[in-house]
């Protein structure tokens, strides 16, 4: 019996070898060649942003804002949800103003399961930024790259807690930068992306393909029509976030300078004709009566060409320079009026519009 089985096995192997010899095309299917093995080993890996998500996601927290019940002031109920980003091992968290604006208590939930009550350090309605702080050790911190500048076409990931489903990552590209038309005063420049930002994503992180913070997710575009709109969302640039955060930590609120003028850019050709040999200029369209500029002698139709040592090359830079100036300080402003240069000294005032004071611990 054993002899019969051995003979059957040998005959089967012999038949298989004969078939492979007669039909060479079967060899590559049965025995991988060294070339095939090499191609398999060297084949590119599928594109993945797993590393970026693993770097950034632990620092993105869930935020639950709670209010006292009107029926029973001793009871708190959750009335909103959002996301936040840990930006410092000291426990500072950036989120949106609108996420915590009406909260009597703010609860922060980390991805490792820890939960803490947060202190509201301060908030700024104009930029829709709020700063919280929690007291915990071994906190994950979002990777920061101060040299990164958002560019159209950059791949970005939006990380947050949409609809309280738990942490979610969506993918897209930066489709525009410097979007100011959706801000309340037309001054804030947003990053536009097609990465989905839904309810609950507000305050979460927009990161690049390295997991570095690009901005804070703040809004999705909604039309006041029956048309549904997809792929248009906005984030606050990380450089502005960092500047506002430092001001809130230092003063409990954002202190802004202002001089009370309204102006617009003029073309380089117009500038050469009216203002002389300057790279840029801002034509003054209006002056606030009794404001710092009015008191200092600036008039409509003046062309601002320099602020201190900075050339007034565009309106945004001029506004930033004035906003960053400390109220009470003085600045030299060079203007051109009727073809003649004139230097004026303006005392910076404090911009109290949309001012939101620190509301203490919550």
In which region does residue 297 sit, left (phi positive, over 0), alpha (psi from -120 to 50) or beta (all else)? left
Active site (annotated) includes residue 338: no
Backbone Cα Rg of the chain: 30
- Annotated catalytic residue, options 65, 83, 98, 351: 98
* Cβ pair 136, 91 in contact under 8 A: yes
Between strands 92-95 and 76-86, the pairing is antiparallel
Active site (annotated) includes residue 98: yes
What is the rounded CA–CA span in Å between residue 362 and residue 358? 11
With the CA atoms of 150, 152, 154 and 157 taken in that order, what torsion angle do they form, in degrees rounded to the nearest 10? 80
- Annotated catalytic residue, options 65, 83, 124, 128: 128
Between strands 105-109 and 60-68, the pairing is antiparallel
* Coil, helix or strand at residue 56: helix
* Cβ pair 83, 68 in contact under 8 A: no
Active site (annotated) includes residue 128: yes
* Coil, helix or strand at residue 13: helix
- Annotated catalytic residue, options 65, 202, 220, 233: 202
In which region does residue 90 sit, left (phi positive, over 0), alpha (psi from -120 to 50) or beta (all else)? alpha
Question: Which residue stretches of the chain are H helix?
Answer: 2-22, 27-30, 34-42, 50-56, 97-100, 238-251, 268-275, 292-296, 315-324
What is the rounded CA–CA span in Å between residue 149 and residue 147? 6
Task: Tell me the catalytic residues.
Answer: 98, 128, 202
């Amino acid at each position: 019996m054993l002899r019969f089985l051995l003979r059957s096995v040998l005959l089967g192997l012999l038949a298989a070898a004969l078939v492979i010899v007669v039909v060479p095309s079967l060899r590559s299917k049965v025995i991988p060649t060294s070339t095939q093995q090499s191609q398999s080993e060297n084949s590119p890996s599928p594109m993945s942003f797993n590393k970026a998500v693993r770097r950034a996601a632990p620092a993105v927290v869930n935020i639950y804002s709670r209010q006292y019940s009107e029926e029973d002031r001793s009871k708190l109920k959750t009335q909103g949800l959002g996301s936040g980003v840990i930006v410092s091992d000291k426990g500072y968290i950036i989120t949106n103003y609108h996420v915590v604006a009406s909260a009597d208590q703010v609860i922060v939930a980390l991805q490792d399961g820890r939960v803490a009550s947060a202190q509201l350090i301060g908030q700024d309605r104009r930029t829709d930024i709020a700063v919280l702080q929690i007291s915990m050790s071994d906190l994950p911190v979002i990777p920061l790259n101060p040299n990164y500048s958002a560019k159209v076409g950059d791949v970005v990931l939006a990380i947050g807690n949409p609809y309280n489903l738990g942490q979610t990552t969506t993918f897209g590209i930066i489709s525009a930068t410097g979007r100011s038309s959706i801000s309340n005063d037309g001054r804030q420049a947003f990053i536009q992306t097609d990465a989905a930002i839904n309810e609950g994503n507000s305050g979460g992180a927009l990161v690049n393909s390295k997991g570095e913070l690009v901005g804070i997710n703040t809004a999705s575009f909604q039309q006041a029509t029956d048309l549904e709109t997809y792929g248009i969302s906005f984030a606050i640039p990380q450089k502005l976030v960092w500047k506002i955060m430092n001001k809130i930590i230092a003063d409990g609120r954002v202190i802004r300078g202002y001089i009370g003028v309204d102006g617009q850019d003029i073309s380089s050709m117009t500038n050469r004709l009216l203002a002389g040999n300057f790279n840029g200029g801002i034509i003054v369209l209006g002056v606030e009566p009794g404001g710092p500029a009015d008191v200092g002698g600036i008039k409509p139709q003046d062309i601002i060409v320099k602020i201190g040592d900075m050339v007034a090359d565009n309106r945004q830079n001029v506004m930033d320079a004035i906003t960053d100036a400390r109220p009470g300080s003085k600045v030299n402003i060079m203007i051109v009026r009727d073809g003649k240069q004139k230097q004026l000294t303006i005392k910076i005032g404090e911009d109290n519009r949309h001012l939101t004071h620190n509301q203490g611990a919550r």
